[in-house]
């Protein structure tokens, strides 16, 4: 519920941010989105309005990506820690249900809730933006699925952490830390290289392979808004990584003594 209110506030905020500053787009396109002025394109030339719009939509989609991930993770952080609490989990397992079905019922519930939430934000923002700019961007809508996919990836990791630490706050904070701080740092380190073969680069290579990569999501969302080539590896990797975390979590859940 709280998450819905936050999401709505976010959307209203978005309308204001755009409404105030979207002035003329004749000679000079000056746009202020969330207070940041964007005068020129990345290549130094003035951008034509269409392109600017693509970039704006992409920037908004990316902002929504971060906000909704943040909120969604928060809203589901206690689902598994609560489930595996002593006195609760043993009553669940004593029912004629398999542990897998107990596990996936929660998962299905959480995913459905988050799906509704994400698309609530996306569709709401899409309507506002579309009415405003009269460009009915399908890429923007599609970014909802990218968010959901990455949520799947990160949530699965959070479930795995929960299985070990059994505490929602610790699980949530370590997930935030790994995903929003460590993962981008690692991605940057990997991009700009380091000494090959050193211990540090092995560690960073390993983390880069294992952690959910929000930087990839950003690249991906941006690319299909601006029509650049995108690699199908990005969503596949996110899906595989999520599935791996989920499999480990399920394995641990099945083998634990409660």
Partner 1 sequence: MYAVESNGFTKHYSGGKIKALSDFCIKIEKGTVFSLLGPNGAGKTTLIKLMLSIAIPTSGEGFILGKKTTDRSSRMSVGYLSENHRFPGFLNAEQVLWYYGKMSGVLSTDLKKRIPVLLKKFNLEEKRKLKTVKYSKGMLQRLGTAQALINDPEVIFLDEPTDGIDPVGRIEIREILLELKERGKTIFINSHLLSEVERISDEIAILKEGRMIKKGRTSDFLESTGEYNIRVEDSKQEIFFNILNSLNIKFAPHKHSASVKINDITELNSVIDSLRDEDILIKGVEEIKGSLEDFFIKIIR
User: What are the residues binding partner 1 (CB under 8 A)?
Assistant: 85-98, 255, 257-258
8/100 with CB nearer partner 1: 100
Token pair of 240 as six digits: 């595989």
**Residue among 83 and 237 whose Cβ is closer to partner 1:** 83
44/87 with CB nearer partner 1: 87
Whole-angstrom CA distances from 158 to 80, 92, 151 are 9, 21, 10
Shortest distance, position 72 Cβ to partner 1, whole Å: 21
Residue 100 burial (10 A CB sphere; 0-12, 13-18, 19+): exposed
Report in angstroms how near the CB of residue 256 gets to partner 1 at its nearest. 8
Q: Which regions of 9-98 does DSSP assign to beta strands (E)?
A: 31-33, 36-38
Nearer CB in complex with partner 1: 51/92? 92
Q: Are 244 and 154 in contact (CB under 8 A)?
A: no
Smallest gap from Cβ 1 to partner 1, in A, equals: 12
Q: Which of 252, 258, 257, 255 is nearest to 156 (CA)?
A: 252
Least distance between partner 1 and beta carbon 160 (Å): 20
Q: How far apart are CA 249 and CA 156, in angstroms?
A: 8
């Amino acid at each position: 519920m709280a998450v819905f209110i936050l999401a709505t506030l976010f959307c209203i905020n978005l309308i204001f941010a755009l409404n105030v500053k979207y002035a003329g787009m004749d000679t000079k396109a000056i746009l202020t989105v969330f207070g940041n002025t964007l005068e020129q394109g990345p290549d130094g030339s003035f951008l034509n309005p269409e392109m600017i719009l693509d970039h704006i939509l992409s920037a908004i989609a990316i902002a929504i990506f971060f906000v909704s991930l943040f909120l969604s993770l928060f809203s589901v952080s206690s689902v598994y820690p609560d489930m595996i609490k002593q006195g609760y989990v043993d009553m669940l397992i004593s029912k004629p249900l398999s542990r897998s079905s107990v596990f996936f019922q929660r998962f299905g519930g959480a995913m459905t809730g988050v799906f509704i939430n994400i698309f609530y934000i996306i569709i709401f923002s899409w309507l506002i933006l579309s009415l405003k700019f009269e460009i009915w961007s399908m890429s923007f809508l599609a970014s909802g699925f990218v968010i959901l996919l990455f949520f799947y990836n990160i949530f699965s990791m959070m479930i795995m952490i929960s299985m070990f630490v059994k505490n929602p706050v610790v699980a949530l904070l370590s997930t935030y830390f790994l995903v929003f701080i460590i993962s981008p740092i690692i991605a940057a380190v990997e991009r700009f290289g380091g000494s090959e073969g050193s211990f540090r680069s092995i560690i960073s290579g390993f983390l880069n392979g294992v952690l959910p990569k929000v930087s990839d999501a950003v690249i991906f969302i941006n690319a299909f808004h601006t029509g650049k080539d995108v690699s199908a590896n990005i969503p596949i990797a996110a899906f595989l990584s999520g599935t791996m975390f989920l499999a480990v979590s399920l394995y641990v859940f099945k083998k634990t003594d409660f």
